[in-house]
Amino acid sequence: MNIDIDWARGELANFLGLTDLRPTGTLMSTIRKANHGTDSQIVASAQVVEQILDRVLPRWRTEVPDDRNKTVNRWCQHREAAQRADAVLLRDAEVRERLGDDAPQLSAAAMHRWVWEGARSLWGSGHFREAVTAAARKVNAETQNRVARRDVSETALFQSVFSKDAPKPGQPRLRLMADDGSDTFRSVHRGAMSFAEGCFAGIRNPNSHEDGLPELPEHEALEQLAAFSVLARWVDSAALDAH
């Protein structure tokens, strides 16, 4: 898990302390409870804590119960999510080791920023197929931005930008390595072109155009996001070769 665990746990502990209910009266008949922190302190802390929760428990908004009496404490859902996230941060490595699964984990949040920025909001609500589609659109749009083109998109766009041909007016190329006339240069760019076509034809198009498809399992959606993350890194790191 690519996260500063000590810092994250400290932020969660601070939030739990601020949202803890404390008595505000002295007589049993008039005892009231209020959060230990002020509203402004809690809101400021929640701004950071929600980002931690999104990383550690991406579906906390839908999976953590939100049916408690919020007139008592409006932060009930946040508090339970923070407690769960703290347990994950503290014991995740131990649990995976004890259960015999200490293989590397794939995190959507660690993927290329274009992919996660596109997928994030839908991913958090469990709409995995739509999240992958949104990530694909984001990668397509950012590629258009890199080469300043709006006349082509998706497969046609990547066929153009990764073409081995010299750039033409209005048709710049993206170079993953210098054109030294080698078989490696040709192979790399042919592979990138084919990979991009596979991503859009095999992943993006079915996700977008097939009605009635069941929701993608999370692990399959992660694999599909990872494919677009590879493509995004190639586009982002490539040298622009303009006419």
Model pTM above 0.85: no
Please, is 233 exposed, middle or buried when counting C-beta atoms within 10 Å of its C-beta (0-12, 13-18, 19+)?
middle
- The pLDDT tens digits for 54-78 are 888 888 988 888 866 666 678 999 9
> Domain check: are 29 and 68 in the same one?
yes
Q: Is 22 found in the same domain as 112?
A: no
- Average model confidence (pLDDT) for the chain? 88
Both 92 and 118 in one domain: the answer is: no
Is 103 a domain residue? no
Which alpha helices (H) appear in the chain, and where do they start and end?
5-18, 39-56, 60-63, 76-98, 113-124, 128-147, 154-161, 183-199, 205-209, 218-237
Q: How many residues does the chain have?
A: 243
Mean pLDDT of 145-152: 95
Residues 113 and 228 in one domain: yes
Q: Does residue 126 sit within a domain?
A: yes
Could you tell me if 88 and 133 lie in one domain? no
Pairing of strands 21-23, 33-35: antiparallel
Question: Based on the domain organization, do 235 and 167 belong to the same domain?
Answer: yes
The whole domain housing 164 covers 108-241
- 77 & 159 share domain: no
Q: How many domains does the chain have?
A: 2
| pLDDT grade for 146, boundaries at 50, 70 and 90 | very high
Among 48, 69, 98, give the residue marking a domain's end.
98
